[in-house]
Amino acid sequence: MPTVNITDYATAVDAMVKKGSAFANRNMPYLFRLTRGDRGIIASNGQPWLEQRRFALHTLRNFGLGRNIIEERIMYEFEITCEELEGRFDKEGASIEPENMLNLMVANIMNRMLFTDRFSKKDEERFFALKAKADEMVNNFSVFDMLIDKWNMDLPFVKQRMEYILRPINDVVDFMRDQIEKR
């Protein structure tokens, strides 16, 4: 991958501040283009990136970023989690897994902001299954995956690898579609 290294301060200011938009584009690996289709804040460049950035900031402000609304939602979820913890500690020999508790708390905050409700007890299993797949994908991700391009997708081992990597992403998209259809 070609790179440019700027080692002079004056040149860096000129390139990144004064002419920043001329150098704003990034090389996007095929994997990003395949999963996002040149959309979104991470996988876009130029004018589409500026529009996505504006939209994301506007949407986050509508969700309450920078106001007490998000803090209230976080505190609400924190209180519910504390109540559940107290209920578990009332039982003898109860144990907790802090990582799972915190992951579910964050997921509930996000799910409430996006879909207006928390994960129900039956949905918790689905959340943890999706999270396990995503964790496995992240743990197995390698530099090799960033080198895959469209021309070598027909190679059997490359195609199999991409299907393995994309399966958790597709599962998350399916979950989101299910949530949207419920509304």
| The two three-digit tokens of residue 107, written as one number | 């997921």
Q: Where are the domains of the chain?
A: 43-119, 121-183
Task: Indicate the SS3 state at residue 85.
Answer: helix
Question: Which of 103, 149, 148 is closest to 127 using CA atoms?
Answer: 103
The single residue listed with the structure tokens 């913890």 is 85
**Residue 19 amino acid letter:** K
Question: Which secondary-structure segment (H or E) carries 48?
Answer: helix 46-63
Among positive and negative, which fits the CA dihedral 86, 87, 93, 96? negative
The pLDDT of residue 144 is 84
Q: What is the pLDDT of residues 54-86, one digit of tens each?
A: 888 888 888 777 777 788 888 999 999 898 888
The pLDDT of residue 105 is 93
**Euclidean distance between the first and final Cα of the chain, in Å?**
44
The pLDDT of residue 1 is 64
Dist. CA 176–CA 152, nearest whole Å: 30
The pLDDT of residue 150 is 86
Task: Indicate the SS3 state at residue 15.
Answer: helix
In a structure prediction context, what are the per-residue pLDDT tens digits for the chain, which is 183 residues long?
Answer: 677 788 999 998 888 888 877 776 777 778 777 777 767 777 777 788 888 888 888 888 887 777 777 888 889 999 998 988 888 777 766 778 889 889 999 999 988 888 888 888 888 888 898 899 888 888 888 888 888 888 888 899 988 988 888 888 888 888 888 888 887
Give pTM, 2 decimals: 0.66
**Residue 160 amino acid letter:** Q
